[in-house]
Amino acid sequence: MSPFGKQGLPFLSARELARVGVVDVGSNSIRMVVFDGAARSPAYFYNEKVMAGLGQGLAATGRLNPEGAVRGMAALTRFAALAEGMGISALTCVATAAVREAEDGPAFHKAVERQTGLKLIVIDGEEEARLSAQGVLLGWPDARGLVCDIGGNSMELAEVEGGRIGRRATSPMGPFRLQQIEPKNLKKHIELIMDGLRDTVGADHERVYLVGGSWRAIARLDMERRAYPMTVLHEYRMTPDDVMATVKWIGDRDIADLRTLTGISTSRIELVPLAMQVLRQLVLTFKPAEIAISSYGIREGLLYEQMSPGIRKRDPLIEAARFTERQMARMPGFGKKLYQFLLPLFGDVAPERDRLIRAACLLHDTSWRAHPDYRAEACFDNVTRANLAALSHPERVFLGLALLHRYKNSRAGSAMTPLFELLSEDEIRDAEVLGKAMRFGAMFSIADPAEAGALTLDRDAGTLALRLTRTGRALMGEVAEARFQTLCKAMGVEGVVS
């Protein structure tokens, strides 16, 4: 049974999900997150972490780290006060490996409730695996593979496919635990545990989703090794060969130098060498074709737990774009009309591209407050670095480039040029066409471009026809005409206005 009760946490309405708080008491860090915004794709309204180290030394002493317990209690006292100040009524607090395994964990649990009023729920390893997997599903609705969540004292695995969670397993392979193993025995120790995990969850997983700060630190170092042009960790992809190359690259360098290079915290970077050995064996044991980094884990899993099936089925990208349009656009609702007006340009486009076109149209006017000289770059930067789910790195750049061209015809000399290498030439061209189509459509009509005219693309004839209504003839001034012809040139067709 779930520790939240037979039915789990109650489903919340879209309105209630607009402001939900979560406190995660882990072995290494204690974090409070308050989610805000679109129900299916919330933003981080508040996010604070304290590296308390509750579980440091637990394997040797069987007790919580005394200093960590003091720091943890101070953090939780502050978080309780913050939640009260924000008026957070839906606040869920969970504790994982350190509190559940320490002999003084129950005493700490009671002290937290007595001193802070927070109702701490201690979850077991399999429940931790389930919630982490749900966090991955929040970010990747179509996730399929093996979720691997590493904390300070444990590592959990869970299968995901078709929106469901399958076999789960937990293990004592957090870096704090591994610090107690003799270095000469460590490799064999990790290998034996990993073999047991493979027996439990199976080995046929083409993709592994990595959850946890230690994994993200390794991914950040992999980016540095590869001179990768983007530093967004969510949905960053690595191959097994990348992992092995980075393991060697890290091993050949001084940890302090790596910290200076990347800005990773001291407490986190110190755990990287042990986490690195676990990741190496994970790849050797499970042999995935691809490794993906998830910034979403147990905290997002707790939010997902409170979503109804209907809300879970929504597209996180489109939900976020709609919410942003409502909050920031000059004319909320115009994005949908713009999409419908431009749809004839794209024909039988694949669903994966169609959702990017929809999102771009919804976001096309959300950076209007930026200075005109920097608006194009602001659009690009906002999208490529935004907290958006269900969006790969190439898709981020495609969307950003389309929005750049919504405000600017040329991308020459852009500071964002290094990111364009994540796209093919065809993708760059398609993003430019989409951007210039929005650039025309957005100023063609104030209320609804369909009231001013209709577009018809004839690829065989090589023409793009714009048939104007009476209203459209009045609106088709020289600026609109110039933007229409610029679009036609980008598409390689002749523009015909009638």
Q: Sheet of 91-95: strands edge to edge?
A: 43-50, 30-36, 19-25, 91-95, 120-122
Average pLDDT over residues 297-322: 94
* Residue 61 shares a structural domain with residue 182: no
* Residue 51 shares a structural domain with residue 133: no
Average pLDDT over residues 60-89: 95
Domain assignment of residue 339, yes or no: yes
* Residue 278 shares a structural domain with residue 139: yes
Q: Which structure tokens are listed for 319?
A: 């939900």
Domain assignment of residue 25, yes or no: yes
* Residue 117 shares a structural domain with residue 131: no
Task: Name residue 404's amino acid.
Answer: L
pLDDT, one tens digit per residue, over 232-273 is 999 999 999 999 999 999 989 998 888 988 888 888 899 999
Domain assignment of residue 368, yes or no: yes
36 vs 5, residue with greater confidence: 36
* Residue 78 shares a structural domain with residue 223: no
pLDDT, one tens digit per residue, over 365-390 is 999 998 988 888 888 888 888 888 89
Q: What is the mean pLDDT of the chain?
A: 94
* Residue 225 shares a structural domain with residue 285: yes
Average pLDDT over residues 462-483: 95
* Residue 329 shares a structural domain with residue 247: no
pLDDT of residue 90 exceeding 90: no
Read off the pLDDT band of 7 (50, 70, 90).
Answer: low
Last residue of a domain, one of 107, 123, 139: 123
Domain assignment of residue 10, yes or no: no
Q: Which structure tokens are listed for 389?
A: 């789910």
What's the DSSP call for residue 11?
P
The pLDDT, as a whole number, for residue 267 is 84
Secondary structure of 89-119 in the HEC alphabet? CCEEEEECHHHHHCCCHHHHHHHHHHHHCCC
- Domain holding 56: CATH number? 3.30.420.40
- The whole-model pTM stands at 0.93
Domain assignment of residue 54, yes or no: yes
pLDDT of residue 6 exceeding 60: no
What is the residue range of 349's domain?
Answer: 315-497
- Domain holding 192: CATH number? 3.30.420.150
* Residue 170 shares a structural domain with residue 42: no
Q: How many domains does the chain have?
A: 3
The pLDDT, as a whole number, for residue 246 is 96
Task: Name residue 53's amino acid.
Answer: G
Read off the pLDDT band of 39 (50, 70, 90).
Answer: confident
Last residue of a domain, one of 241, 267, 296: 296
pLDDT of residue 8 exceeding 80: no
Read off the pLDDT band of 2 (50, 70, 90).
Answer: low
Task: Write b or e for each residue in 68-93: b if 16 or more Cβ atoms lie within 10 A of its Cβ, otherwise e.
Answer: bbebbbebbeebbebbeeeebebbbb
Read off the pLDDT band of 5 (50, 70, 90).
Answer: low
d(CA 17, CA 154): 30
Kindly give, in sequence order, each residue whose CB lies less than 8 Å from that of residue 278, ignoring residues fewer than 6 positions away: 150, 155, 173, 175, 178, 190
* Residue 203 shares a structural domain with residue 218: yes
Read off the pLDDT band of 454 (50, 70, 90).
Answer: very high
Kindly give, in sequence order, each residue whose CB lies less than 8 Å from that of residue 381, ignoring residues fewer than 6 positions away: 400, 416
Read off the pLDDT band of 457 (50, 70, 90).
Answer: very high
Task: Write b or e for each residue in 396-429: b if 16 or more Cβ atoms lie within 10 A of its Cβ, otherwise e.
Answer: bbbbbbbbbbbbbbebeebebeebbebbeeebbe
* Residue 98 shares a structural domain with residue 130: no
Percent of the chain whose predicted confidence (pLDDT) is above 90:
83
**End-to-end Cα spacing for the chain:** 67
- Domain holding 443: CATH number? 1.10.3210.10
* Residue 141 shares a structural domain with residue 63: no
**Three-state DSSP state, 415:** coil
Angle between the N-to-C axes of helices 183-201 and 272-286, in degrees from 0 to 180, rounded to the nearest 10? 40
Domain assignment of residue 390, yes or no: yes
* Residue 213 shares a structural domain with residue 350: no
Read off the pLDDT band of 37 (50, 70, 90).
Answer: confident
Domain assignment of residue 4, yes or no: no
